[in-house]
C-alpha cells in the first residue's frame, strides 16, 4: 500500500510513496512529542517570528509549488500560483496578530489578580484533502503551531509531492525538527494516531463520512476536533439582482478549481421573474470556462482530480436528468485520457434529484427556480449542509438581513462568492462540520482556555 500521485490530465502515474511502518510512525510521534516540550515554552512573539520566513519561502517557491499542484491534482497553473500566494498571506496575518489574539484576558473578581490565558495543547493531527493541497494545510497548521502546538499531517493519498513540499517549507523556514511532520499513513493508522495519548486534537477537512468517523474516534478519546466538511452552497439570485454581476460571480464560484471546492457555488436559486435572463447570462459566462491544458496560464478549467470522482459526478448528473432536470449544456465525458468533464448546466432542478439533495463536486451548475424571496430562503436552507451561502440583490440592507438572520450557514456573502479569508472565521453548521479556522477564533481552537486566580 502506498500514496500514489496520478496526473489527472493524462492518467499517468507520477510517483509512489510507501506507507510508514509501525516503528517509523512511533519515531515520528516521539519526535513530535519531544518537539512540543521545547516549542510551547517559547513566547508567542518568537513562534510568530518564524512565519515571516515561511511566507517568504511560499512566495519564492510559488512557481514550483504551483507546478506540483497542477501535475498532482489538475489545478490550473494560474489558480495554483494564487493558492501559494494566499498561503503566504495567512502567514503574514498571524505574524502580525498572533500575540494579540493569544494575550491573557484580565477579569475583575474577588482575587488580587485573575485572568484567562490561551495555552497550547500538544500534538495536533491534521487530516487534509487534495483539492487545495497547500491552502488547507497551511490554514490549519500555521495557527495551531503559532499557538504553541506541533502538527502532524496525514495528507490525501493523491498529493504526496505536495505533502513533502510542505514539510520542506517548515524545515527550511527554520522550525525545529518535529514541529511539523508529514506522515504517509493509511486511514487505519490515522485512527491509531488519534487514539495515542500524546495527540491532543485533530483537524479534518473532508467528506461527511470521514468527518463522522473522525468525530467518533476523537470523541471516544475525549479529544477536541475541528471538522470542515462538505457543502452544497446556495446562491440566491433575487428579482432585483444585478444579473451581470450575479452571472459572473456564480460562474466563478462554481467553476473555479474545476468546481472541486466545499464552498463552491453549487445551487443557483433564482426567482422566476429573472430566471430566463440569468440563465442566458450564465451560459455566456460559461463560455470562458472551457477545459484546457492546466499548465497553460490562460486555462481556467482543468481536469477533475481523479477519474472515479468524474464518473461519480457524471452519474449524479444523469440521475438528475432522469428525474426531470433539464440538461442545458455539457454532461459529457470527453473521449481523451484523464479525468476530464465538460462544464455542465442543469435547469429545472427540484427536490428529490441528486443535484438538489447531494453535493456535486465538480464543474456542474444547477438552477433551482423559485417564486419569491421566502421560497428562495426555504430552498437554500433545505439541505443537510451549512457551509456557505450567497445572496445577490441591489438592496444591500435586504441582502445583509437575509445573510445575517435567515440563512443557516457558517459564511454568508452578499453580492460576491463565498471565500475563505484569514481575517474572518471559517467553518460550517449541520453536516458541514463544527469548529472554526482562521481569524482570532482559529488560532484559539487548539488551546486550553486556562483560568488563573491569585489571592
Q: Which of 262, 307, 437, 445 is catalytic?
A: 262
What's the CA gap between 245 and 248, in Å, rounded? 5
Cell numbers that stand for 328 in this block: 442545458
Give the Cβ contact number of residue 283 at 10 Å.
15
Indicate which residue of 83, 228, 358, 445 is catalytic: 228
User: Is 228 labeled as catalytic in the residue annotation?
Assistant: yes
Residue 362 near residue 32 (C-beta atoms within 8 A) = no
The full DSSP string for 254-289 is HHGGGG--TTSEEEEEEEHHHHHHHHHHHHHHHTT-
Cβ contact 376:369 at 8 Å: no
CA geometry: angle 181, 157, 438, nearest 5 deg: 55
Based on the residue annotation, tell me whether 250 is a catalytic residue of this protein.
Answer: no
Element (H, E) at 67: helix 62-73
Residue pointed to by grid coordinates 511532520: 181
Query: Cα separation of 204 and 189, whole Å?
Result: 15
Q: Is 49 exposed, middle or buried (0-12, 13-18, 19+ CB in 10 A)?
A: middle
Q: Which residues are part of the catalytic machinery? A: 228, 262
Amino acid at each position: 500500500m502506498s500514496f500514489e500521485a496520478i496526473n489527472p490530465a493524462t492518467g499517468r502515474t507520477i510517483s509512489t510513496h510507501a506507507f510508514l511502518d509501525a516503528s517509523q510512525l512511533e519515531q515520528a510521534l516521539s519526535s513530535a512529542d519531544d518537539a512540543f516540550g521545547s516549542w510551547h515554552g517559547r513566547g508567542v512573539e518568537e513562534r510568530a517570528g518564524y512565519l515571516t520566513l515561511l511566507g517568504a519561502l511560499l512566495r519564492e517557491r510559488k512557481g514550483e509549488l504551483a507546478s506540483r499542484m497542477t501535475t498532482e491534482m489538475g489545478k490550473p497553473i494560474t489558480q495554483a500560483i494564487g493558492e501559494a500566494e494566499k498561503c503566504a498571506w495567512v502567514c503574514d496575518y498571524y505574524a502580525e496578530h498572533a500575540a494579540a489574539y493569544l494575550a491573557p484576558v484580565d477579569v475583575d473578581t474577588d482575587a488580587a489578580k485573575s485572568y484567562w490565558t490561551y495555552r497550547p495543547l500538544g500534538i495536533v493531527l491534521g487530516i487534509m484533502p487534495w483539492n487545495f493541497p497547500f491552502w488547507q494545510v497551511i490554514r490549519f497548521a500555521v495557527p495551531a503551531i503559532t499557538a504553541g502546538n506541533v502538527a502532524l499531517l496525514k495528507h490525501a493519498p493523491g498529493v504526496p509531492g505536495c505533502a513533502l513540499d510542505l514539510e520542506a517549507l517548515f524545515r527550511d523556514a527554520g522550525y525545529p525538527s518535529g514541529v511539523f511532520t508529514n506522515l504517509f499513513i493509511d486511514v487505519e493508522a490515522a485512527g491509531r494516531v488519534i487514539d495515542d495519548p500524546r495527540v491532543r486534537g485533530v483537524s479534518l477537512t473532508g467528506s461527511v463520512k470521514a468527518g463522522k468517523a473522525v468525530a467518533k474516534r476523537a470523541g471516544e478519546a475525549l479529544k477536541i476536533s475541528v471538522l470542515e466538511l462538505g457543502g452544497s452552497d446556495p446562491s440566491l439570485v433575487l428579482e432585483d439582482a444585478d444579473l451581470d454581476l450575479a452571472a459572473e460571480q456564480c460562474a466563478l464560484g462554481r467553476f473555479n478549481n474545476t468546481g472541486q471546492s466545499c464552498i463552491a457555488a453549487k445551487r443557483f436559486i433564482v426567482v422566476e421573474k429573472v430566471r430566463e435572463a440569468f440563465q442566458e447570462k450564465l451560459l455566456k459566462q460559461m463560455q470562458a470556462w472551457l477545459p484546457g491544458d492546466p499548465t497553460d496560464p490562460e486555462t481556467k478549467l482543468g481536469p477533475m482530480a481523479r477519474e472515479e470522482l468524474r464518473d461519480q459526478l457524471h452519474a449524479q448528473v444523469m440521475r438528475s436528468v432522469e428525474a426531470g432536470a433539464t440538461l442545458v449544456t455539457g454532461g459529457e465525458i470527453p473521449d481523451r485520457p484523464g479525468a476530464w468533464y465538460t462544464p455542465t448546466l442543469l435547469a429545472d432542478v427540484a427536490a428529490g434529484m441528486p443535484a438538489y439533495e447531494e453535493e456535486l463536486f465538480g464543474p456542474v451548475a444547477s438552477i433551482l427556480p423559485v417564486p419569491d424571496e421566502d421560497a428562495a430562503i426555504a430552498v437554500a436552507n433545505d439541505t443537510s449542509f451549512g457551509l456557505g451561502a450567497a445572496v445577490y440583490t441591489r438592496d444591500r440592507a435586504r441582502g445583509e438581513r437575509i445573510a445575517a438572520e435567515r440563512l443557516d450557514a457558517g459564511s454568508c456573502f452578499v453580492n460576491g462568492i463565498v471565500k475563505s479569508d484569514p481575517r474572518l472565521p471559517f467553518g460550517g453548521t449541520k453536516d458541514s462540520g463544527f469548529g472554526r479556522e482562521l481569524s482570532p477564533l482559529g488560532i484559539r481552537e487548539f488551546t486550553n482556555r486556562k483560568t488563573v486566580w491569585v489571592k
